[in-house]
Amino acid sequence: VALPQNTAEVARIVRLANQENIPLVPRGAGTGLTGGAVAAHGGIVLSMERMNQILELDQANRLAVVQPGLINGDLNRQAAKYGLFYPPDPASVDFSTLGGNIAENAGGMRAVKYGVTKNFVMGLEVVLATGQIIHTGSKCVKDVVGFSLSELFVGSEGSLGIITQATLRLLPLPPKQGTLMALFPSMQKAAQILPAMARAHITPSILEFMDHQCLKALDAKEGTSLASRAAALLLIEVDGQKEKVGADLSLLADLCRQNEALKTDQAKNAPDRERLWSKRRSLHASLHLIKSRWEEEDISVPVAQLPEMLKSLDQVASEHNLVMANFGHFGDGNIHISFAGKDHDLNQSQTLAIRREIYQAAVNLEGRIAAEHGIGLDKTDEISWNLDHSTIEFMTRLKEFLDPVQILNPGKVLPGRERK
Amino acid sequence: VALPQNTAEVARIVRLANQENIPLVPRGAGTGLTGGAVAAHGGIVLSMERMNQILELDQANRLAVVQPGLINGDLNRQAAKYGLFYPPDPASVDFSTLGGNIAENAGGMRAVKYGVTKNFVMGLEVVLATGQIIHTGSKCVKDVVGFSLSELFVGSEGSLGIITQATLRLLPLPPKQGTLMALFPSMQKAAQILPAMARAHITPSILEFMDHQCLKALDAKEGTSLASRAAALLLIEVDGQKEKVGADLSLLADLCRQNEALKTDQAKNAPDRERLWSKRRSLHASLHLIKSRWEEEDISVPVAQLPEMLKSLDQVASEHNLVMANFGHFGDGNIHISFAGKDHDLNQSQTLAIRREIYQAAVNLEGRIAAEHGIGLDKTDEISWNLDHSTIEFMTRLKEFLDPVQILNPGKVLPGRERK
């Protein structure tokens, strides 16, 4: 394990690894869900935890220059003092590092309004596999000088270069948030809220859904009876100017009722908001009251295909006699799937078969086998389900161009190749 | 000149050019301002004008799949029928093609709220220099399958690959626009509106400025006396729900008056809006009443540095005895500069010297020598003012990797290299 303190040290370590042909696995906080930070081929784990400083927080230009080991939440706590925030909010926001977020192109709940990590990276300092240091992007909103290289490294899972510094775009912190919970008799009814919101020109900052199984889990934890009354729950948040938030929230409640919501619950104050949010936050714990071990998946489909995808998932669950809980981000087509055998444990080959049925269902709807949790070690064999042969061949050559000795996070993202 | 009708034809032409070492210059409508579509080294001009179809307009998923020769405005006219729009709006919107817009990473007036072309490209089909066809991105908002390659080709000015198809993100067409014009005694006073708007959580969809010389030009054309009363003009537009637009517009007018605006003029209806916009639209024609020939520049600085940049420009104008008119996009730090000798014609070396002083002033403020008009043929020698040696070296190697024979738009973007 190497714990560099600055870019020059990173470059020296990378150069050594390249000369000696030693695998190099960059690591933020290790919170990734597909094994991106796992040293599967041994070698050096390059932990960025000591490079955790905010180098610049520029209120007037609304940007921050940060080191990769900085925790996402720490940036937001500092930015808040200047009335700013950094929108990408993966569930790991209080533990995961910005370098890791960038390497994984992390999403989160607010992506429906604000976008994913890629949309907030203005520039990067990157150490290439040879130890060469390059700088991408700038502090300017409009910039067409040279090629746009930042995005090549965003989401590359440490396999194309080591991110040693990032310039991140910040936004003015909305003065007000409003939260609404709505229960629906079916997911199809809940889904009708999407085009209705578009027609009303409301863009929620958060639009989370939970399916029937999630409601059962919440009932098990909280002694409620949601699942007997409803089949789907939406948790909607709007943010902005005070008056606008109030108006949007009322309009949203109306839209929910017009689409046969069984109940709407509007948070009137902070504790009230906390009460609604606790349902989402306790979901993982609640699910573990039902099954001690769940397999988890992360896929996405074009937004309007989400209800269709949920139907396909029901079918997979019923065919394999599974307990399956689906929740996630309604507004951006991203579903997080938890599954387990109903009265049996799943072995590895059963799990793989089920995962692949899920991928196939997503692909059938022009969806993706990985939305915001990376490819990592887990899905390299299946990227050909989304990418044609020519595109994978090009990505592989691009990887070889950037990392000729194949030291950078080997075995991640692309299908396995023997190291030289 | 080759006029391919489909991707297979493009691939065949590219393969031939690569085999025979013939320069290949992709061309949309040829409206670019830095010579990107000029066949400076001879060879084949690859005009995409026959590939101008909308292949898909998906209302539910708010996206369009288009061919590169489609005119930007034609997409918007079709999208409007479905209540959608494509935000990037370069001034050439009625003539320039989406392929050209993508190759140049076109910006426009609405970038202050919506972002530039890069932010709306979900996926591309690209013919590489070898004739190999790859597909980047997808129709999903969240997608981390493989490397993020779309942005590498956006803004690459046809020098890394030929774009033959694009999946573009659309947004719901705002039901209402509101327009406000305000006159200020100085650019510095006008600039104070920026932090004031941020504090009030208003994001205008357009925020254009014109300097004193622009006002003189308008006066010359329209017989008004703006320039004797004011030194700066702001043209602000907000869009969204009807009630919100009205409220925002009133608040903006208040903010302008609090910051010593001499006059505010709010458009009450469509003809009124047209009256305000005509000032901006006639600016080019108005400027030509003052001088028949202007040199034009396009730079950007971090948003808050814009007033400082305008001061530097005043200094350049006064040192070189120039007439200089500055206008552009206040909210995104992008200035369009027009200059001419006050009582003398500028020769080529004088023009170059002035351009370079402008670039230097931008660089001093962490700005960029090209914001939205590309590098093209014009600025290749100066990209080293923004990019360090190592980064240029890497871009050059990347270009060689993607285009080993150097057939793709040679002489553009990167400093000159002899072709093999």
| Alpha carbon distance A349, A343 (integer Å) | 17
Closest chain B C-alpha to A61 CA, distance in angstroms: 5
Nearest CB to B147; choose among A136, A334, A398: A398
Express each pLDDT in B338-385 by its tens digit: 999 999 999 999 999 999 999 999 999 999 999 999 999 999 999 999
B105, B241, B366 ranked by CB distance to A201: nearest: B241
Say which residues have a Cβ less than 8 Å from residue B156's Cβ, sequence separation at least 6. Answer: A147, A148, B103, B413
B333/A174 Cβ within 8 A: no
Q: Among candidates B171, B180, B178, B192, which has minimal Cα distance to B330?
A: B192
User: Which helix (DSSP H) or strand (DSSP E) does residue A8 occupy?
Assistant: helix A7-20
Calpha distance B387→A133 (Å, rounded): 12
| DSSP bridge pairs for B57 | B64
For residue A405, how many C-alpha atoms fall within 13 Å in the half-sphere facing its CB?
Answer: 18
Q: What are the tokens at B141?
A: 């908002």
Instruction: Give contacts of A413 with chain B, Cβ < 8 Å.
Output: 146-147
Chain-chain contact of A334 with B387 (C-beta, under 8 angstroms):
no
Instruction: Please give the DSSP secondary-structure letter assigned to residue B89.
Output: B
Type of residue at B379:
K
CB contact under 8 A, A151 and B155: no
Reading the block at residue B219, the tokens are 């006066």
Geometric angle at alpha carbon B370, from B365 and B373, rounded to 5°: 150
* Run of H or E including B334: strand B334-341
Tell if the CB–CB gap between B302 and A139 is shorter than 8 Å.
yes
pLDDT range class, residue A418, cuts 50, 70, 90: low
Neighbours of A148 (CB within 10 A): 20
The verdict on a CB contact (< 8 Å) between B388 and A135 is yes
Is B219 exposed, middle or buried, given 0-12, 13-18 or 19+ CB atoms closer than 10 A?
Answer: middle
Q: What's the rounded Cα separation, in Å, for the pair A123 and A126?
A: 10
Contacts of B265 (CB under 8 A, 6+ apart): B180, B181, B182, B276
**Of B163, B208, B166, which Cα lies nearest the Cα of B190?**
B208
Among A241, A373, A413, select the one facing B146 at the smallest CB separation.
Answer: A413
**Alpha-carbon gap: A343 to the closest alpha carbon of chain B (Å):** 33
Spatial separation of the C-alpha atoms in residues A22 and A13, rounded to whole Å: 10
- Tell me, what DSSP letter sits at residue B21? T
Q: How far apart (Å, rounded) are the C-alpha atoms in residues A240 and A242? A: 6
Kindly write down the DSSP assignment for every residue of A30-92, as one continuous string: S--SSSTT--TT-SEEEE-TT---EEEEETTTTEEEE-TTSBHHHHHHHHHTTTEE---B-TT
Phi and psi (nearest 5°) for A207? -150, 85
Q: pLDDT tens, A105-164?
A: 999 999 999 999 999 999 999 999 999 999 999 999 999 999 999 999 999 999 999 999
Residue A179 confidence (pLDDT) above 80: yes
Cβ of A141 within 8 Å of Cβ of B374? The answer is no
What phi and psi, each to the nearest 5 degrees, are found at residue B394?
-65, -45
Interface test with A, best of B101, B134, B142 (most A CBs within 10 A): B142
Return the structure tokens found at A339: 């599954």
Q: How far apart are CA A251 and CA A198, in angstroms?
A: 12
pLDDT of residue A131: 98
Residues of chain A in contact with residue B83, where contact means CB-CB under 8 angstroms, are 199
Q: Do B155 and A133 touch (CB under 8 A)?
A: no
Residue B177 to chain A, least CA–CA distance (Å): 13
Q: Looking at chain B, which residue has its C-alpha nearest residue A414?
A: B146
Best CA proximity match to A333, nearest among A191, A145, A186 = A191
Residue of B nearest to A394 (CA): B134
Q: Do A61 and B302 touch (CB under 8 A)?
A: yes
| β-strand partners of A239 | A177
Interface contact A143-B83, CB threshold 8 A: no
CA-based nearest residue to A164, from A241, A214, A103: A103
Chain B residues with beta carbon closer than 8 angstroms to that of A393: 132
CA distance A285 to A283: 5
Provide, as residue numbers in chain B, all residues whose Cβ is less than 8 Å from the Cβ of A8.
Answer: none
With a pLDDT cut of 90, the percent of chain A lying above it is 91
Least CB–CB distance from A152: residue in B135, B143, B148: B148
Q: How far is CA B327 from the centre of its chain?
A: 13
Chain A's closest residue to B241, CA to CA, is A201
- Residues of B within 8 A of A198 (CB-CB) are 62, 172
SS3 A216: helix
Q: How many CB pairs under 8 A join A and B?
A: 248
- Given a contact cutoff of 8 angstroms between Cβ atoms, the answer to whether A373 and A33 are in contact is yes
Sign of CA dihedral B336, B342, B347, B353: negative
Tell me the β-bridge partners of A295: A339
* Contact criterion met (CB below 8 Å) for B149 and B121: no
Can you spell out the DSSP letters for A132-166? Answer: -EEEEE-S-SS--SS---HHHHTTSTTSS-EEEEE
Q: What's the mean per-residue pLDDT of chain A?
A: 95
The tokens describing A399, both together, are 């990887």
Is the pLDDT reported for residue A416 higher than 80? no
Side-chain-side CA neighbours of residue B412 (13 Å):
33
Q: How many CB atoms lie within 10 A of CB A144?
A: 32
Average pLDDT on A18-29 reads 97
User: CB-based burial of residue A346 (10 Å sphere; 0-12 exposed, 13-18 middle, 19+ buried)?
Assistant: middle
Our CA-based measurement puts residue B309 at a distance from the nearest CA of chain A, in whole angstroms, of 13
**Residue in B with minimal Cα distance to A152:** B148
Amino acid identity of residue A175, one-letter, is P
Average pLDDT of adjacent 10-residue blocks, chain B of 420 residues: 98 98 97 94 96 97 98 98 96 96 96 96 98 98 97 98 98 94 95 90 94 96 94 95 91 96 91 88 91 96 95 97 96 96 95 98 98 96 97 98 97 75
Query: Which chain A residues have a beta carbon less than 8 Å from that of B141?
Result: 111-112, 115-116, 300, 303, 332-334
Residue-wise pLDDT for A66-110, tens only, equals 999 999 999 999 999 999 999 999 999 999 999 999 999 999 999
User: What's the residue count for chain B?
Assistant: 420
Of B145, B148, B374, which is closest to A154 when you measure between CB atoms? Answer: B148
DSSP B308: H
Q: Distance, in angstroms, between B287 CA and closest chain A CA?
A: 25
Is A107 in Cβ contact with B201 (below 8 Å)?
no
**How many other β-carbons are positioned within 10 Å of the β-carbon of residue B386?**
24
Contacts of A114 (CB under 8 A, 6+ apart): A87, A88, A120, A171, A205
Helical residues (DSSP H) of A211-266, grouped into ranges: 212-222, 226-229, 242-258
Q: Identify the closest residue of chain B to A113 by CA–CA distance.
A: B141
CA distance A132 to B397: 13
Beta bridge partners of B134: B126
The answer, yes or no, to whether residue A420 has pLDDT greater than 60, is no
